[in-house]
Structure 1
Amino acid sequence: MDIQENPITVTSPLLPPLKDFIPYLEDIWQRKWITNNGHYHQLLEKALSEYLGVPYISLFTNGTIPLLTAFQTLGIKDCEVITTPYSFVATSNAAIWNDVKPIFVDIDEKTGNLDPNKIEEAITPRTKAILPVHVYGNPCDTKAIQEIADKHGLKVIYDAAHAFGVKKDGKTILTDGDISTLSFHATKTYNTVEGGALICKDEKTKAYIDSLKNFGYTSEIYITETGINGKMDEIRSAYGLLNLQNIDDAIAKRKHVAEVYRKALKNIDGITMFEENSSVTYNYSYFPIFIDNKKFWTTRDDLFINLRANGILSRRYFYPLISNFKPYQHIPSASRENLPVANKMADSVLCLPIHHLLNDEQLKRIVSFVMNPNGGGT
């Protein structure tokens, strides 16, 4: 068997204490209202709005439906959107499902994010929006992107699936652009098992989003939009409320993991890492390293295999690029020639385990196997 019985996993979900969750479940059972904008749904929206420092938030049942709904909210359809190939496939899938063609542009090697210098040359008369991703929770160059959007009359949707709680200069990045989407999937820093949200700036837009996620209802007998069922239920809302009580401690523990990795790997030939920006408050959702196959003692893929064989699960995230998946290969902008930086990063990235349950002994073991070609010995 390649994997040991108790492997070191690449991530682990933040779980609220079961003893604390049971009273919430008992209360939900007493209320007999388990979905449709119930008590805990409303409490969680209010709590998240306060915690994240955002004016309006609408909860969803997963992280993909907010992306779908963002296009609908802004009326973006039958057009083109400029986006990144270096993301989870849901980013571009949401565009296709809205009859929007993704136009891929290359990324910035320093952040992994959409390169603003590549955007304008990709704009055509059919371009209606820009869809950047705050990759690994690294903030995009939102100022430069907004200047381009304003110049060309484009909407900006930020896929902030990795950016829960991330701030720049003490201010949330979730209010940049026209709308931001969040994912609360179990693998994220903050989770509601499955879940997600849309962040918007005014009450009218929130009401419209709330209608869209509830089949298009505006009252008990009126449907005014072609909506979808994207509501979060009461059980996951209560779970989310409890997890919010533990998120700061979890992020602090993730930060410690990142600090251990940085100290141990900073001078290793063949390994590069993103530099941290002192003006950014991170959530440490991932820890990617980039392997130079010609300088490191082994290749990225062999390191991935070797770690796995020794009970350490890493992830080549994001590999392959979205642009290399079959549904997107026919798009001219998906060519390797058009995306040299993105392809280079995808071919070299390896995300090491990072979560709140890792201990120093496990971290020492991980670092040892990364650095040492002789079976992880020190």
Structure 2
Amino acid sequence: MINVTKTFLPPQAEYNAILKRAWDAGWITNRGALVKELEEKLKAYLQVSNIIATTNGTLPLQIAIKALGLTGEIITTPFSYVATTSSIVWEGCTPVFVDIHPEYLTIDETKIEAAITSKTTGILATHVFGNPCAVEEIETIAKKHNLKVIYDAAHCFGVAYKGKSIFEYGDVSTCSFHATKLFHTGEGGALFANDSELFNTLFYHHNFGHKGPESFQGIGINAKMSELQAAMGLAVFPYIETIIAARKRVAELYKNNLQVTSLMKLRKGTHWNAPYYPVLFETETKLLSILKLLNNEKIFPRRYFYPSLNLLPYTDKKSCPISENIASRVLCLPLYHDLSDDEVLKICNIINEGL
């Protein structure tokens, strides 16, 4: 069976050796030594100002909305994972969808201003498949209209844009360390913010609002990463460069052997991390026929992202024709560290013959 992704598991003895430190200390959660060590390693590797490790990648979005005091309408993209939209609705705000750029697949920055109303308080945009949004243009718009900016950077571990970590852009950036990601802690995620006061607010929000053991700075929730998760992250961390290089090798094989090309155009100045390999078919019918051929061979790519989020039942279903069209025709092919050349070529041959 070849799935769309496969979790990288470090040697179990290495994980157990790190985990033993938590056992010996008798400290399993509440920001133990392993969490703090992981944060420091990631901060150095990613070249970011600060980081808060969290228990998953969705709570950071909800915490960011809360910490920035967003209310009313939040402009967002319809081409993302459901967590982007659901977090807005969960926090009592209204998602206002702006269609995407047909090549970069990120929110179309030229259409944002037309969607701004007196109720708009923020922009929540997604860097898609490791491809950055037009961050400079979005920052200009946000400053002009006094809006806050959150980036869902779930796919962006290790991505840099114009020589700077993608996590350094916006008021807040978030990331996912889910088991399907190229860096993972089993379940997990992170929050990033450059402003020290905002970072402090994010920090107490992620830990029940604690200001010391017996006082509270404000409202909070439990988003803390456990020592068990951090141990996995510390065990995976030494292999990051190997993982990314292996994934780029697979992506290059697809590029050189498929008769259908990668859907996505990388924004100039992007240091890419090869998190996904999306391809676009001429029609949804053709996609479904190719998908059936692959499934018959026990190969399981993913329709990612599908459906376009503006069609979710708890949204106003505003038309976003570019996102809807691309979402209906895009397929992410299997991509992981130990996918063999023979397996990649088999996938290519099945697709090419079915076109």
TM range (shorter): over 0.9
**C-alpha separation in 2, matches of 1:172 and 1:373:** 40
Q: Deviations over 1:332-373 (max 9, x none)?
A: xx333xx11101100110000001010101011010111013
**1:141-152 mapped onto 2 (5 Å cutoff):** 141-152=134-145
Superposition pairs of residues 309-320 of structure 1, within 5 angstroms = 309-320=296-307
Q: 1: CA distance between counterparts of 2:107 and 2:321?
A: 13
SS of the aligned residue for 1:135 comes to coil
How far apart are 1:277 and its partner, in Å? 4.7
Distance in structure 2 (CA, Å) of the matches to 1:209 and 1:222: 17
In the alignment, does 2:70 pair up with 1:70? no
1:50 lines up with 2:44 in the alignment:
yes
Aligned counterpart, 2:314: 327
Give the residue type in structure 2 aligned to 1:8. I
In 2, distance between residues paired with 1:149 and 1:168?
19
Of 204, 210, 223 in structure 2, the residue corresponding to residue 230 of structure 1 is: 223
Give 1:343's aligned residue: 324
Task: Give TM-score, length-normalised by structure 1.
Answer: 0.91
Could you say what secondary structure the match of 1:197 adopts? strand
| Root-mean-square deviation over aligned CA pairs | 1.4
Q: What is the letter of the counterpart of residue 229 of structure 2?
A: R
Equivalent residue of 1:148, what SS? helix
- Cα pair 1:56 1:202 within 8 Å, conserved: no
Deviation at 1:271, TM superposition (A): 4.9
Deviation at 1:25, TM superposition (A): 1.7
CA distance in 2 between partners of 1:189 and 1:75 (Å): 32
2:280 pairs with 1:290: yes
Residue type at the aligned position of 2:238: Q
Partner residue in 1 for 2:115: 122
- SS of equivalent to 1:132: strand
Opposite residue 258 of structure 1, the aligned amino acid is: A
Conserved? CA contact 1:272–1:291, under 8 Å: no
Distance 2:230 2:123 in 1: 31
> How many angstroms does 1:272 deviate by?
5.2
Range with greater deviation from structure 2 (201-210 or 173-182):
201-210
- Aligned partner of residue 85 in structure 1, secondary structure: coil
DSSP-derived class of the 2:168 partner: coil
Structure 2 equivalent of residue 135 of structure 1: 128
Matched residue type, 1:315: R
Shift of 1:278: 5.6
The residue number in structure 2 matching 1:352 is: 333
Q: How far apart, CA to CA, are the structure 1 residues paired with 2:240 and 2:345?
A: 25
Amino acid at match of 2:305: F
Give the C-alpha shift of residue 9 in structure 1: 1.2
Question: What SS does the aligned partner of 1:355 have?
Answer: coil
Give the corresponding residue for 1:308. 295
Give 2:155's aligned residue. 162
1:4 aligned partner: none
Once the two structures are TM-superposed, the CA of residue 99 in structure 1 deviates from its matched residue by: 1.0
Q: Which runs of 4+ in 1 moved over 4 A?
A: none
Which amino acid letter does the alignment assign opposite residue 318 of structure 2? Answer: S
Q: Which runs of 5+ in 2 are unaligned?
A: none
AA aligned opposite 1:303: I
Output the CA distance in 1 between the equivalents of 2:104 and 2:348: 23
2:146 pairs with 146, 149, 153, which one?
A: 153
Identity %: 40
Q: CA separation in 2, counterparts of 1:13 and 1:224?
A: 38
How big is the shift at 1:264? 1.4
For 1:98 and 1:61, locate their aligned partners in 2 and report how far apart those are by CA, in whole Å. 18
What is residue 82 of structure 1 aligned with on the other side?
A: 75
Q: 2:99 corresponds to which residue?
A: 106
Distance 1:272 1:157 in 2: 27
- The yes-or-no answer on 1:275 pairing with 2:262 is no
How many aligned residue pairs are there?
355
Distance in 1, matches of 2:111 and 2:252, equals 33
* Aligned pairs (5 A) from 1:157-196: 157-196=150-189
Q: Residue 203 of structure 1: CA displacement?
A: 3.4
Taking the aligned partners of 2:226 and 2:95, their CA distance within structure 1 comes to 32
Aligned 8 A contact 1:57 1:200 in 2: yes
CA deviation string 1:8-59 (max 9, x = no partner): 1110112121111111122211100100010001001111111111101001
Give 2:3's aligned residue.
Answer: 9
One-letter amino acid of the structure 2 residue matched with residue 96 of structure 1: V
2:261 and 2:216 map into 1 onto residues whose CA distance is: 55
Q: Distance in 1 between matches of 2:262 and 2:157?
A: 25
The structural deviation recorded for 1:206 is 2.6
**Contact 2:263 / 2:280 at 8 angstroms: preserved in 1?**
yes
Partners of 1:272 and 1:226 in 2: CA distance: 45
CA distance in 2, matches of 1:134, 1:61: 21
8 A Cα contact 1:110 1:275, kept in partner: yes
Q: Secondary structure at the match of 1:326?
A: coil
